[in-house]
């Protein structure tokens, strides 16, 4: 197992640097594509055409945006706490980028195959909220602070169901290592955890509803963790100007922006790894399988969930804070605990 | 308890319905009319006939009555006129009536105009009317002022001078006439005495 | 714009490299205009129509931003009362350079119906902030507004970043010499 870069260059510092850079090289084009997708899909869903005048049918719109953001004045408010204000966007971005360290792209490319992968993702996932609170508080603006507080409340409420989902999958897979989780699911399509996983024989089909519920629970909590609509109350334009990034301009705002899109990929990839077999092909091991196809399946499935996030964004209105709390504490948490118990039972009888 | 699960299912169901609607619209024909490239409201007949756009004054038809200036609720029209003199010869406006006033200035300030069309209503000769032109944004506020009179400054000055000269001539004529009248009156009084 | 300072010294502003860089920078700014979602009076209603599906302001790369820090241009859409003028100045000053102003409708252009007797209305937004494009109309048709956007983009495309800086330096020199 492991890493084709190590196979090629050997285990040395150059190889380590190359491995660090590959996800970064992936994030930048991905962010451009995702931004274009966001604009275009949003427009199409509203019967509009979206950006049309930048390049062919507007495909260069994200590039123009980057060129524009590079030139914008970088404002630091005088009454802001400057070191924290300047650090916050980088912390948010590092939080998103650090998760890429353990996200496998294919059998042959896993930046770091640590056997606590799930736990690591969960830990750095909460990193972003530190950056958000830091930025919100350091801006010295009441709207920023309100946005940051909302973000904290939201992430604390939704980490619990997400944690229960991780726990359930870890229980049934018997490991926290992402590679092993994916390898468990290789083979035919019903080995995927959304269809109950590879174990258990016929009895596992009784448990499929629980897996599906867990899948939906994680989909919802991941939206909340990335601050995407319908859970974008930390930056709700209609209430608190732009939430925690009200005072940010130019490249610092672009960092927040990029972190959001990087986070979208991270949570989509985790959905794919936990429930949809990661890099394994839906046609079993014989057809379109292998390390190269692995990249295709992994990224393709993750992109589908990025699309789902965009789709949800342009469908649903923003939740109110009390509805958010109701959904998190009274619906998702009990459901996920119930499913966890059922799945623990399934793991026990195996 | 039943209500709780019902609510969850209902919420889930409505989200599904909403997602289906947006998915339908994703593949529907788009309604956007792409204005500068592929959509010209005048050519496509999208502009209604009674639409109120840029104003135009046909200065050959304007007799300088100043009705539009008086009726404009925001006073954005300035009309300046000078009387014609007999030496200009017999001049008419386009519609055939006699011209008694030269229009030296007929300026509309589109940056103030509220396109109410009252000036159009009040013009007796229909010299002022709405065109179909709508895209005339400017980089300067003064670009939005338009003077419809095309006389050069000399011509205007000449018309003013003509009028002043005619005034003097007329005054002299009047004075002479008055003197003659008075003389005649005096003579008549003499006779009656 | 710190990095521009370093760029324009070693090259000639008319030269190929700087010319191309300038074109690229102008292209970026012209094609990605984020506007402050901000409306004032009846013109704001027409402005909403411009955003809707039939006219779709996003075709021009105009994306609404709620915070002035992230906006590139502000649309003064409607009657500017004296009280609101102060807020507009604040908003304008909060925006990050380079920033543009689009004045929409007669009221913002020059006070419109209130220019003579409106004791409460600012007689033209250009009395307090510099305006780039004036869109006439009361309210302007959506197409007229889009024409204003096209003209604004044209103006941004023709801006001379480096030349202007060189010229500014000349002027400063003259002042110093005096
Ligand atoms: S349309 Fe109304 S506001 Fe405009 S010039 Fe005519 S009368 Fe004045
Ligand atoms: S009302 Fe008509 S004729 Fe009279 S000044 Fe105005 S445009 Fe000319
Ligand atoms: S220009 Fe006309 S439509 Fe626009 S705000 Fe003023 S009165 Fe209202």
CA of A347: how far to CAs of A203, A204, B2, in Å?
A: 11, 10, 29
What mean pLDDT comes out for the span A11-36?
83
Q: For residue C121, what are the β-bridge partners?
A: C81
Q: Is the ipTM of this complex over 0.85?
A: no
Which pLDDT score, from 0 to 100, does residue C162 have? 67
* Residue C77 Cβ contacting ligand 3 at under 6 Å: no
Question: Ligand 3: which atom is nearest the Cα of residue B114?
Answer: 2
Which pLDDT score, from 0 to 100, does residue C6 have? 45
Task: List chain C residues with CB under 8 Å of B36.
Answer: 146-147, 150
Q: How far is A218 from chain B (nearest CA, A)?
A: 14
Residue A154, SS3 per DSSP? helix
Mean pLDDT value across chain C? 79
Query: Cβ contact (<8 Å) for C69 and A47?
Result: no
CA of A335: how far to CAs of A104, A160, A195, B1, in Å?
A: 29, 11, 18, 13
- Pick from C103, C101, C102, C98: which is nearest to C160 by CA? C98
Contact (Cβ atoms closer than 8 angstroms) between residue A233 and residue A321: yes
Q: How far is B91 from chain C (nearest CA, A)?
A: 36
Q: Say if B138 is an interface residue toward chain A (CB within 8 Å).
A: no
pLDDT digits (tens, 9 = 90+) for A259-294: 888 888 888 988 888 888 778 777 777 777 777 787
pLDDT digits (tens, 9 = 90+) for B127-178: 888 888 888 888 888 888 888 888 888 888 888 888 888 888 888 888 888 8
Q: For residue B106, what are the β-bridge partners?
A: B79
pLDDT digits (tens, 9 = 90+) for B57-109: 888 888 888 888 888 888 888 888 888 887 777 777 777 778 888 888 888 88
Between C6 and A211, the higher pLDDT residue = A211
- For chain A, domain boundaries: 1-71, 72-349
Q: With a cut of 60, say whether residue C13 has pLDDT above it.
A: no
Query: Cβ contact (<8 Å) for C97 and A242?
Result: no
pLDDT digits (tens, 9 = 90+) for A32-60: 899 899 888 888 888 888 888 887 888 88
Q: For residue C108, what are the β-bridge partners?
A: none
pLDDT digits (tens, 9 = 90+) for C39-91: 888 888 988 888 888 888 888 888 888 888 888 889 988 888 888 888 899 88
Which pLDDT score, from 0 to 100, does residue A98 have? 85
The CA-CA-CA angle for residues A275, A280, A285, to 5°, reads: 130
Smallest Cβ distance to B18: which of A47, A316, A331?
A: A316
Which pLDDT score, from 0 to 100, does residue C9 have? 47
Distance B109 CA to ligand 1 centre (A): 9
Which pLDDT score, from 0 to 100, does residue C166 have? 52
Which pLDDT score, from 0 to 100, does residue A256 have? 86
pLDDT digits (tens, 9 = 90+) for C117-131: 888 888 888 888 888
Mean pLDDT value across chain B? 84
Which pLDDT score, from 0 to 100, does residue A183 have? 81
Q: With a cut of 60, say whether residue C170 has pLDDT above it.
A: no
* Residue B117 Cβ contacting ligand 1 at under 6 Å: yes
The share of chain A scoring above pLDDT 90, in percent, equals 1
Q: Alpha-carbon distance A29 to A51, whole Å?
A: 18
Listed as own residue / partner, the contacts of B159-167 with beta carbons closer than 8 Å and 24 or more positions apart are B159/B82, B159/B102, B159/B104, B160/B82, B160/B104, B162/B85, B162/B87, B162/B88, B163/B82, B163/B83, B163/B85, B165/B85, B166/B85, B166/B86, B166/B87
Q: Alpha-carbon distance B134 to A268, whole Å?
A: 48
Which pLDDT score, from 0 to 100, does residue B13 have? 92
- Pick from C135, A327, C130: which is nearest to B144 by CA? C135
pLDDT digits (tens, 9 = 90+) for C25-38: 888 888 888 898 88
- Pick from A127, A169, A156: which is nearest to A277 by CA? A169
What mean pLDDT comes out for the span A322-326?
87
Q: With a cut of 50, say whether residue C5 has pLDDT above it.
A: no
Between A115 and A326, the higher pLDDT residue = A326
> Phi, psi at residue C161, to the nearest 5°?
-70, -50
Which pLDDT score, from 0 to 100, does residue B17 have? 92
Q: With a cut of 50, say whether residue C175 has pLDDT above it.
A: no
Residue to mutate (ligand 2; options B102, B128, B129, B148; most atoms within 8 A of CB)? B128
Contact (Cβ atoms closer than 8 angstroms) between residue C92 and residue C99: yes
Which pLDDT score, from 0 to 100, does residue A2 have? 57
- Helices B2-26 & A13-45 angle (0-180, nearest 10): 90
Between C154 and A109, the higher pLDDT residue = C154
- Predicted confidence band of residue C14 (pLDDT cuts 50, 70, 90): low
Which pLDDT score, from 0 to 100, does residue C157 have? 82
């Amino acid at each position: 197992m492991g890493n084709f870069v190590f196979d090629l260059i050997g285990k040395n510092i150059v190889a380590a640097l190359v491995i660090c850079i590959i996800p970064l090289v992936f994030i930048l084009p991905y962010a451009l594509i995702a931004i274009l997708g966001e604009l275009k899909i949003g427009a199409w869903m509203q019967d509009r055409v979206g950006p049309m005048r930048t390049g062919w049918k507007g495909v260069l719109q994200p590039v123009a945006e980057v060129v524009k953001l590079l030139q914008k004045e970088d404002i630091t408010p005088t009454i802001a706490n400057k070191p924290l204000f300047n650090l916050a966007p980088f912390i948010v971005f590092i939080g998103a980028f650090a998760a890429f360290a353990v996200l496998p792209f294919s059998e042959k490319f896993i930046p770091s195959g640590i056997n606590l992968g799930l736990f690591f993702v969960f830990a750095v996932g909460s990193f972003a909220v530190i950056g958000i609170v830091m930025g919100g508080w350091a801006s010295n603006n009441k709207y920023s602070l309100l946005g940051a507080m909302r973000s904290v409340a939201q992430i604390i409420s939704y980490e619990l169901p997400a944690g229960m989902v991780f726990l359930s999958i870890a229980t049934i897979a018997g490991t926290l290592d992402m590679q092993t989780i994916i390898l468990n699911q290789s083979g035919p399509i019903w080995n995927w955890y959304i269809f109950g996983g590879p174990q258990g024989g016929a009895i596992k089909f009784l448990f499929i509803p629980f897996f599906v519920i867990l899948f939906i629970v994680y989909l919802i909590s991941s939206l909340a963790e990335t601050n995407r609509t319908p859970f974008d109350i930390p930056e709700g334009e209609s209430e608190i100007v732009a939430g925690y990034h009200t005072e940010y301009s130019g490249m610092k705002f672009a960092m927040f922006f990029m972190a959001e899109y990087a986070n979208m990929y991270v949570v989509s990839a985790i959905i794919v790894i936990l429930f949809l077999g990661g890099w394994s092909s839906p046609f079993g091991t014989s057809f379109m399988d292998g390390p190269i196809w692995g990249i295709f399946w992994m990224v393709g499935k993750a992109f589908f969930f990025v699309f789902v996030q965009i789709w949800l964004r342009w469908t649903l209105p923003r939740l109110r804070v009390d509805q958010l709390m109701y959904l998190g504490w009274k619906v998702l948490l009990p459901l996920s605990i119930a499913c966890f118990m059922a799945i623990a039972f399934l793991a026990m009888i195996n | 308890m039943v209500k709780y699960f019902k609510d969850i299912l209902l919420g889930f169901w409505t989200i599904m319905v909403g997602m289906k609607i947006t998915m339908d619209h994703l593949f529907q024909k788009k309604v956007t009319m792409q204005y500068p490239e592929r959509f010209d409201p005048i050519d496509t007949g999208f502009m209604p006939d009674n639409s109120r756009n840029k104003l135009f004054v046909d200065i050959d038809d304007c007799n300088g009555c100043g009705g539009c200036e008086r009726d404009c609720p925001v006073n954005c029209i300035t009309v300046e006129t000078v009387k014609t003199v007999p030496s200009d010869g017999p001049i008419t406006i386009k519609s055939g009536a006699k011209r008694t006033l030269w229009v030296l200035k007929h300026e509309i300030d589109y940056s103030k105009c509220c396109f109410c069309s009252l000036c159009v209503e009040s013009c007796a000769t229909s010299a002022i009317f709405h065109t179909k032109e709508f895209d005339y944004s400017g980089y300067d506020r003064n670009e939005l002022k338009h003077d419809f009179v095309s006389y050069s400054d000399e011509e205007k000055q000449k018309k003013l001078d003509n009028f002043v000269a005619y005034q003097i001539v007329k005054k002299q004529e009047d004075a002479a006439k008055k003197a003659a009248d008075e003389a005649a009156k005096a003579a008549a009084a003499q006779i009656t005495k | 714009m710190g990095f521009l300072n370093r760029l324009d010294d070693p090259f000639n502003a008319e030269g190929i490299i700087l010319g191309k860089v300038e074109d690229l920078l102008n292209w970026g700014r012209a094609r990605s205009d984020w506007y402050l979602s901000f409306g004032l009076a009846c013109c704001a209603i027409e402005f909403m129509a411009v955003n809707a599906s039939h006219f779709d302001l996003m075709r021009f790369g105009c994306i609404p931003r709620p915070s002035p820090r992230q906006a590139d241009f502000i649309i003064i859409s409607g009657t500017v009362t004296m009280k609101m003028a102060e807020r507009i100045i604040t908003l304008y000053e909060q925006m990050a350079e380079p920033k543009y102003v689009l004045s929409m409708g007669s009221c913002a252009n020059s006070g419109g119906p209130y220019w003579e007797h409106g004791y409460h209305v600012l007689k033209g937004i250009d009395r307090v902030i510099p305006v780039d494009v004036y869109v006439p109309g009361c309210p302007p048709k959506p197409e007229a507004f889009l024409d204003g956007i096209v003209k604004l983009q044209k103006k941004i495309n023709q801006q001379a970043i480096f030349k202007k800086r060189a010229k500014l330096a000349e002027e400063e020199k003259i002042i110093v010499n005096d």
